Structures are given as C-alpha cells and as structure tokens.
Amino acid sequence: MMVVGVKAIFFDLFETLVTEFSEGKRISERAYDYPRLLGLSHEQYKKEWRLRSQARMTGAFLDYPAVVKDILAGYGIDNKEEEIYYLYEERIKEKKIPFYQPQQEVMTMLAELKSRGFKLGLISNCTEEEVRLWDQCELAKYMDLVIFSYQAGLAKPDREIYKLACDQLQVEPAEAMFVGDGGSSELEGAERAGLTPVHAVWFNTHISSNYIKLNKPAELLDLDFITSGVHHIK
C-alpha cells in the first residue's frame, strides 16, 4: 500500500451537485408530443435519441436541433424547423431548472473543501443546451476547473477525460478523487484512470456499486482521506 496526498476533488454535475428530480419525479414534468410535432412515436424518438448519446455528449452534433434533424432524416422527414426550434427552446428552459436553487448542503460542502485548500473540478457529460445556466449558478464560483464533455470531445467513462482534468489542475490521478452518482459508468472510468472513486447517493439511489458511498454531501468532509489529506492505494 502507498500513501498519497489528496490535492484535487472532481465532481459529476447532474444528480451529484444538482438534481433534476424531487421525490422521485422530474421537476420539469416534461411531456413533449413527438407524434404531433415530429411525426415520430415516443418510442421511436427515445430509441434514436439514445443511439446518438455518445455523439451528443462528445460534440459530434453541434446542438440539439442538429440531433433532431439527423433523427428525422433517417425517417425521410424534413421541413420541421419550427417544431424543432420549439422543442429546443423548451429543452433549454427545462435544463435550466436545477441551476436556479442549488441545495445548501452541496454549497456548504464545496465551501468547506475550498477552505481546506483542495482544488475542485467538474467533469460533466452534457450537451450545450443542458448547461446554459451553469455560469450563473452559485456552484460555479467554487470550481477551479470545468470540463464539459461536448467541448472536450471526450465523455466519461473514457479515462482520457479524467486525465485531461488532472493535467489541467496539475495533479496526478493518484492525488485526485472523483465523486459522482455513478451514471455512465463514471466511477469505474475514474478508477481505471487512477483516481479514487466515491459514490454519491444523496440524489440518486438507483445505481449500485462497491465503492465508498455517501448518503449526504456532508459525509464527504468526514472521510479519512479528506480529514487527513491522504489516502491509500494498492
């Protein structure tokens, strides 16, 4: 076992620092009439949306309209500009909601980590419309580094996105932690990249893992390698 000093803590964004859900339900209560607007069933749209997930997250599509136009082209559907941009604006509104009032527990955790001298970073799989309000969110001031996948051209769990984050904060992977809810296999990716993964379950309890689990943001502050500044790796 080797003792390593913790210098940086990277966080996931959605369902880790902010949440789109309340009491198990999506806050936006979104419901789009895809059959009427686009001429596709809900099942068709969701299937095609998922198939383009990697391309969406890594910026292969410029924006949401480009994704929808690509989906429709596959079905031979065009001339839906008005409907597409209506959906785009609605999605932007929906995705802004989590940033308006971040939870106090999360802000307290970040403020305390900053006061203890840790470098803080954000690594998020996202598209441009999903993070329009990030710069205006109160959480942004705590971050020394922000990496959005669509800008980086990389997405979790690719180890290169964690390496990029470490390089930009000038820390070794062994000196860094990654805290996330576990979506997109991000914890496994962090581990493969050499970071210490920590599973945040304060918003999302539906993903299982064998990593250290935190039920509340404050619990991160009490971890041994946070209070001591060191952790052990094999």
| Distance (Å, whole) CA 110 – CA 193 | 23
Q: To 10 degrees, what angle do helices 64-74 and 42-51 make? A: 120
Tell me, what's the pLDDT at 233?
54
In three-state secondary structure terms, 200 is strand
The fold for domain 2-23+101-233 equals Rossmann fold (3.40.50)
Fill in the DSSP letter of residue 195.
P
Strand partners of residue 196: 177
For 52-184, where are the alpha helices, taking DSSP H only? Answer: 53-57, 64-74, 81-100, 104-115, 149-152, 159-169
65 prior amide bond cis, ω within 30: no
pTM of this structure: 0.94
How many C-beta atoms surround the C-beta of residue 231 within 10 A?
Answer: 19
User: Tens digit of pLDDT for each residue in 3-15?
Assistant: 468 999 999 999 9
User: Tens digit of pLDDT for each residue in 81-110?
Assistant: 999 999 999 999 999 999 999 999 999 999
Residue 199 pLDDT > 50: yes
User: Tens digit of pLDDT for each residue in 181-191?
Assistant: 999 999 999 99
Under 8 Å between Cβ of 154 and 184: no
Confidence of residue 1 (pLDDT cuts 50, 70, 90): very low
Under 8 Å between Cβ of 178 and 10: yes
User: Tens digit of pLDDT for each residue in 154-165?
Assistant: 999 999 999 999
Go through 184-219 and write b for each residue having 16 or more CB atoms within 10 A of its CB, e for each that does not: bebbbbbbebbbbbbbbbbbbeebebebbebeebeb
Confidence of residue 2 (pLDDT cuts 50, 70, 90): very low
User: Tens digit of pLDDT for each residue in 112-169?
Assistant: 999 999 999 999 999 999 999 999 999 999 999 999 999 999 999 999 999 999 999 9
